[in-house]
Chain A
C-alpha cells in the first residue's frame, strides 16, 4: 500500500451505499419483484438505503439519487437497471452532479442479464437479481475515486470511403471549418452511386446529381482527397489517432496527368472492365476510371501491362512513371468516420436462378451499366448471349436477401431499384413485356408507394412468387417455372433476359479496416452501431463513427442522412477541442514491485517500461486500461484501477451465499 493510499484508508469514512432498483416500467418489474430485491438489499452491510424507482434513469429518478446523496450523505451509489453499455455514463454524470466521484458509482444489470432472459421464471429471476445486486454492493464498498483526464483533440478528421455517404460526411465536416482527409481505396471518389443509371423515386440521372457533388468535394479547400489509398494502421484514441495511409502506385503522376485519354487510345492491352462496368465492355491496361472521375486521372493496371511504352510515348506531359512505388502518409486526426459501403450479393457460387449457367441471367448492377447512357452499350439494353434487345424481361426480387440460405435481412433498396429499372425499360422500349417476380413489395418513405403505383399503371406485370426452376431453351431464352401465389397458377414464363435483384452484403475487403479499428461486427456481417436506436452512427469506440451501408443496407437518401449525422457527431469533438478519457488505468505499488519486468511485454500499447534504475515506469497517456499486465504481475504490485483483484474477488464471493435469499 502506498503512503497516499494508507492515508486515504485511515481517513476512510463510514460506507454509506445507496441502492436504486429500477423497475423499467414492466421490463424489469415484469419478471423481478423489485420491492423484494430492495428489502433484501437493505439488510446488507453498508447499505444506507434501498429504493425502487419506476424509471431510475428518468429525470425524477436521477433527482431522487441526487437528493439521497445529499440528504443521506451517501458515498457510494448503486443502480440496478439495464446495461452499463448505454446507461453508465448517464448515472456517472448524475452522481457527479451531486458531488460524488463518478467512479464511486456501481452498475448492476438486472434487465438484459436477468428479467429479459428469465421472463417466465419470476422466482428464479428475483433470486438472481438479489444476488446480482448483492455482488454489486460488495464491489461498491471497495470502489475508489478516480479521475478521468481531459485530452486535447487534433482538430482534423479522417473519412474512410468516398462513396456518397463519405463524401457527404467529408463535405459537412469541411464546411464546419475542419480539415478532412478523405481516403478512397478506388482510383476515383463516387462509390457505387456513380455506376447507377437513374435513381428512384425521381428517375433523375445518378451521375448528373452525383457528378457535381464530386466536383464540390474536390473543390472544398478543407478536404484532401486521397484516392487509390488505403488505411493501413490506426493507433491512439479519441482526439489523438495516428493513421498510416498507403497510396498505391498509379504509375501515373497525378500532378502532371490531365485525364486526356491519349495514353488510353494507344494502349494495346484490353480486358473486361469489372471494376466499373461489371465486366460488360472493356478497359485498357492504362485507363481513366470513368468520364466524370474525380480525380480525372489515368492509372495503369500493372498486372496486365506489357511494358510496351506506348502510353509513355503518347503522353505529351510525361505523366507516365513506370517506376512509381507505393508511398505512405502519417496522419494525425481527432475523429474517424467509416463509410466503406457494400458489395452486391454474388449469385455466382450458388448459381442462384441459373446465374453463371445461363448467359441471359444478369444482376441489377449489370443492368444498371447496360441501360446507362454513358455505359459500355451507350444505354442500349441488349442481352449477353446475342447482343439483341430483349423483348421479355423479368426481374427476380430478394436474391441474396430474406433467404435463410444466404442472408436473412431485407436489403431494402432492391424493390425500388427493380421498380425503377422496369419503368426505364417501359419508357425506352414501350413494347417490352416486363415482369417483376416478388415475395413482398416493400416501398416505405416519401414518394415510394406512389412510385410503385406508377409502375403498376405502366403495364408492368407483377407476379407474387419466385421461380422454382430456371432453365434455358435452345434460343438461349430463360424459362422460369413460377407460381403466382395470388392466383395459384403455375406457368412456364419464357423470358429473353432475367435480372436478379441482388441485395447488399458487407464487403470482404472492408474486414481489414474493421479489424484495424476494432469496430464490432453485427450478425449480418455489417459493422455494428453503439445503439440500434439512440446511437445509429456511433460505435462503442469514442471518436469512431459509421455511416451508410457500412452499418447495413440503405438507400441513397438514408445513406446521405447518415453521412451528415456522422459529420455532426464527429464534429462535436473537433469543436470542443477536448475529450475525456477513461479514468481506468494501471497503477503500480512501488513498495511491492521488484522490477522483474514480466509485465512490460504484456502491454500492447508500450505503456510500461523499465527505467534506468530498474524501476517500472507507467506512461499513463498510453495505458488504455485493459488490465492484462496486472494478471502477469507475480507480486500483485500492478493493479488495474476500478477492476482491482479485491473488487473482482468481492463480486466472486458474493455470487454464493450460506443463507437462502
Chain B
C-alpha cells in the first residue's frame, strides 16, 4: 500500500437532504477546501441510513463511514435523527465486531448553514483515517 501521506482514504458520508447535505453545499458555497476523500450519498432523513448501508460500505472498501443528519430537535421528520442516534450505538458495536478501529465510524449533526463545520469535519476525519491507514476490510485491488 502506498505511503500514508500520498494515500487518500475513501470515506462514505451519508447525508440527510435537509441539513447535512445542505451543510456540504454550504461548505462548497463558502469554498471551504477539503481533501478529495469523501463521497456523499444523499438520503431524505438520517433515519433512512440502514446499518446494511454502513456494513456494505465497509465491505466494499470504505476506510471510514460518516453518519450525519440534522441537529437533535431540528429533524425535518420530527425525530428521525433520534432513531439514528439509537441505531448508531448498534453501528459502533458492529464496527467493533468487524474488527475495525472506532476511528472509522462517525456520527455528526450538521445544519444546512454549517458549511465550515462540515469542512472541518471532513478535514479532521480524513487526517485521523490517514493516521490509521487503509481499512483491513478493503478488498484487494480496490481504490
Contact = CB atoms under 8 A, between A and B. Distances in A.
B22 A520 contact: yes
A375 to B, nearest CB: 38
Interface string A105-133: 00001011110111111001101100110
A649 B62 CA distance: 13
A643 B21 CA distance: 15
B56 to A, nearest CB: 5
B79 interface: yes
The size class of the interface chain A forms with chain B is 35 or more
A628 B83 contact: yes
A428 interface: no
Interface in A123-156: 124-125, 127-128, 131-132, 135
B77 to A, nearest CB: 4
Interface of B: 8, 10, 12, 17-19, 21-22, 24-29, 31-36, 39-45, 47-53, 56-57, 60-62, 73-80, 83, 87, 111-114, 116, 119, 141-143
B142 A653 contact: no
B74 A630 contact: no
Contacts of A626: 44-45, 47-48, 76-77, 80
Given A127-B36, A135-B39, A628-B47, 10 more contacts: A112-B26, A124-B8, A128-B36, A523-B114, A528-B112, A540-B22, A631-B51, A648-B53, A653-B60, A656-B142
Interface of A: 83-85, 109, 111-114, 116-121, 124-125, 127-128, 131-132, 135, 515, 518, 520-523, 528, 540-541, 584, 602, 604-605, 624-628, 630-631, 640, 643, 645, 648-649, 651-653, 655-658, 660
A522 B36 contact: no
A112 to B, nearest CB: 3
B25 A627 contact: no
Contacts of B29: 112, 116
Given A522-B113, A631-B48, A117 B83 contact: no
Contacts of B113: 520-523, 528
Nearest to B60: A656
Nearest to B52: A645
21 contacts: A113-B24, A117-B33, A118-B33, A127-B36, A135-B39, A518-B18, A520-B74, A520-B113, A521-B74, A602-B47, A625-B44, A626-B47, A626-B77, A627-B43, A630-B48, A643-B44, A645-B53, A648-B50, A649-B56, A655-B10, A655-B62
Nearest to B84: A628
B19 to A, nearest CB: 7
A263 B8 CA distance: 76
Contacts, number: 156
A520 B24 CA distance: 14
Contacts of A624: 77
Contact of A652 (B8, B53, B83, B111): B53
A141 to B, nearest CB: 16
Contacts of B27: 112, 117
Contacts of A602: 47, 83
Nearest to A520: B112
Contacts of A655: 10, 12, 39, 57, 60-62
A627 B36 contact: no
A69 to B, nearest CB: 24
Contacts of B22: 85, 520, 540
Contact of A540 (B10, B18, B24, B28): B18
A308 B17 CA distance: 57
B111 A627 contact: no
Contact of B77 (A132, A604, A648, A652): A604
B28 A520 contact: no
B55 to A, nearest CB: 10
Contacts of B80: 604, 626, 628
Nearest to B45: A626
A511 to B, nearest CB: 9
B48 A627 contact: yes
A131 B39 CA distance: 9
A655 B57 CA distance: 9
Contact of A118 (B17, B36, B42, B56): B36
